[in-house]
Every structure is written in structure tokens, then in C-alpha cells.
Amino acid sequence: MSFSMPDHVKVREVGPRDGFQNEPEVIPTAEKVRLIGLLMQTGLRRMEVTSFVRPDVIPQLADAAAVLEGIERVDGVSLSVLIPNERGLDNALKLQDRFDEVSVFMSASESHNQHNVNRSVQESLAGLERVIARAREAGLGCEAVIATSFGCPYEGHVRPEHVYEIAERLAAAGAGEIGFGDTTGMANPLQVREFFRSAFERLPGVELTAHFHNTRGQGLANVFAALEVGVASFESSFGELGGCPVPAGSTGNIASEDLVSMLHEMGIATGIELPRLLDASAAVQMLLGRPLGSHLLTAGPIDWHQSR
């Protein structure tokens, strides 16, 4: 199979969920809604805005319903929510008119899955198959995210074949998009290139999305490797917020503004206005009161008027 570098890339902003959930201090609901509003004015067309997890597990996201109700919808912007299980889906469906897609998640490795959701891989698969089926019946789009696709902090190497088998089951259950997560920043560019080259062959007709973390500074290099084999869908977080709750030290996702800047400099369109995205990242940095990991927040883009 031959590939070519895409000329347009989709970017899903996950900071309002993946980023906020790792913040130790609870962010007021009104501030979340304000920041989401800023992001929705940047040209982003896909955003993950909250999750219907148990409030005692992630108190930061206990206001999921209030956040959804507070967002002023923008035409052409698809909102998604993260769903951990059928109970979470039940709660989300009460507000179905406020979002368009659901994301479900599990880990490829047994150890990380147990630490993260207290289930075996097979238990998670069985549960997510039911969630996906119900979400599709409700008319919602569905992305299934497989964490630790490129390595596990507890087990080390994760066999790509194992990851593909999980992805095939999730796709067969009705997930139209599969996201592969480098959850603790263990991937390298050569690994990424070969992984996605095979993934395209194994999952024809399924949208493949890359979700890289910058834990060890290789996030954008891994993006480039994925682009080389035709990946045209990425997830990122403004300000480089986020990380993985387990284990400690798993720092943030690639910064949305760093990703968009690199793509624009390479002549790849995103439809995102970089100055507005930087404004949103500067706003969350000011709210949190500490320097964030984003390189562009420090150095600024090469061209402040970049917009593609």
C-alpha cells in the first residue's frame, strides 16, 4: 500500500477533558465554559469537552452536565464526550442534544487497564462493545481510543498485533474511528511509522487517529512519522495540558498550537486560526497561574498571522 503526506489534517482538541482532568485544583464550571468558547472560535471542528465518569473518581469532571448545558453551540463544531461504561452513557444520553459524538477507551495492556479502570482487557472489550452499539443506535458518532498502543509503563513492549486485534473488535462493534494513544510518551518515530503502515492495512475504511503525548519530547516527531504514512487525524491539547493519571510523571499531550504551527509551516491545512488558538492557550495558562509546556506560548510562532 502506498501513502502520501496529507494536504489537510483534522485536529480534535481534547484539553477540556483530557487536560482539565489532570489539574489538582477544581476549575470553576464557568471558566471551563469560557475556555471552551474561546476554542470554538479558533476554527477547530472537533472537540472533546468533558466526560461522564464517576464524580468520586475524577472530581474535576463532576460538572459534565453543567458544562454541556453552558456551552453555546457553534455551527460546524462537533462536540464529543468521553464515556467509561454503560452507566456513563445513560447519563450522557440525558443531554444528547448537547453533543454529537462519544469516545470510549481502554488500554491495550492488562496492567495499565487494571490500574486505570480496574478491569481486564477482555472485560473492557465486552463492555465497550455494548456501549458502542447503544451509542450508534442513538445516532451518535463513536471513536474508540486504545491507550498504551505503543508501550506500557508497567509491562514495557505491547505487541502491535494485539493492538490491531482490539481495534478490529471495536471497529466491528461500530466504532467508525479508532484512536491509538501513546499514553505515557513511549513511542518513537520509526515505531509509529511501521505501526500505522500496518494499521491501515488491517483496518480499511476506519478513520485512524493518532494521540501522542510529549512526555519524553518526541510528540511532534511522532506526528511527522504518522503523517508520512497517511495519518490525517490527530488529537492534542491546548497549552500541552494533560497526561495520564497513572503512573506518576506522565506529562501532557502534544500542544495543539505546536501541532498546528508545525502543520502550517509544512503547508498542511487545518482550518484553524493559530493566533486565536494561542489566545485560548494563554488564557488557560493565566487561569492556572503557572507556565505550561507549550513551546509557542514561550517563543511565539514564526508568523503571527498564520492561518490555514
CB 111 within 8 A of CB 82: no
244 is catalytic: yes
| Nearest in space to 217 (alpha carbons), one of 244, 241, 262, 187 | 187
End-to-end CA distance of the chain: 29
What is the distance between the alpha carbons of residues 64 and 245, in angstroms, rounded to a whole number?
19
- Which residues 6+ apart lie within 8 Å of 48 measured at CB? 12, 13, 14, 16, 17, 18, 79, 80, 81, 82, 103, 235
In terms of residues, how long is the chain? 308
Q: Which of 187, 220, 226, 244 is catalytic?
A: 244
What is the distance between the alpha carbons of residues 272 and 112, in angstroms, rounded to a whole number?
34
Distances (CA, A) of 288 to 241, 243, 267: 11, 16, 33
User: Which cell goes with 278?
Assistant: 494561542
CA atoms within 13 A on the CB side of 239: 25
Q: Look up cell 480534535; give the residue.
A: 12
What is the distance between the alpha carbons of residues 137 and 246, in angstroms, rounded to a whole number?
33
Q: How far is CA 242 from the centre of its chain?
A: 10
The 3-state DSSP class for residue 228 equals: helix
Residue numbers annotated as active site: 244
